[in-house]
Structure 1
């Protein structure tokens, strides 16, 4: 039995690995932007509150990161064209999605009149943190689907 690989097999593998690496870099960059957008627009310093182990800050930050991941994944998935076009579309759609997501969550928090600062700075679990987390996840899904 003779197994022969096509002529460009290893080149295709190398190209695919390079594309994966580039999309991973784009995804990581967008996740950083998303985290800092949440941190910047949420009262208090989330990363510091999470390091202190405040449960509500952990819940809100975790849900915010998951919502950003939905947006980033769909932005990458929805990108079309060649590699360069796909990377640019992922960056643009991901960035716009993050901005829309953060703004929508802040509006929803305002509409529900949740005191986010006191909620995330509390050292005891506050049920309102689940409402904020649900807003992050729900709006992240909505924005992600809008991108597709």
Structure 2
């Protein structure tokens, strides 16, 4: 009987479980909002620094615009995920460091990709507007991902 009672009491939740669960859910929601906002900022940073209206080119199915935008968004996500992962343990400090690292990462990544395009003399405007696949779009996409990884590792 005592062993059955012990088994039942082991099933009880620890004190403060509900509060901890609520804090965890709140943290997830806040980090998700920050992540979404940073992704939007990242998209508009890519759009703003790329010739043509990137969102329109993607909507109309220009293959090179889709490749470059997708790689840019993946790169931004890598930076943001690492910024969140390595943020402070305190929720407020963690949110602040995620925003700061995320914004700096976006700025550095956009500047680096644009510099690479300039150095290699890629005509990115022509490339993203082309109806047909252009191999140069893979080079730009690789640069986005590579630089996103570099910035992400620098954050850690």
Report the TM-score range of the alignment, normalised by the length of the smaller protein: over 0.9
Unaligned runs of 5+ in 2: 1-6
* Corresponding position of 1:103: 111
Aligned pairs (5 A) from 1:48-127? 48-127=56-135
Q: Which of 4, 22, 29 in structure 1 is aligned with 2:12?
A: 4
Aligned-partner Cα distance in 1 for 2:120–2:85: 33
1:81 Cα deviation from its structure 2 partner? 3.5
What do residues 80-134 of structure 1 show as CA deviations (whole Å, max 9, x unaligned)?
1310000000000000000000000000000111000000000000010000001
* Corresponding position of 2:44: 36
Aligned-partner Cα distance in 1 for 2:80–2:15: 35
What do residues 125-147 of structure 1 show as CA deviations (whole Å, max 9, x unaligned)?
00100000011000010011111
TM-score between both structures, scaled by the size of structure 1: 0.98
- SS of the aligned residue for 1:6 comes to coil
Deviation >3 Å, runs of 4+? none
Unaligned runs of 5+ in 1: none
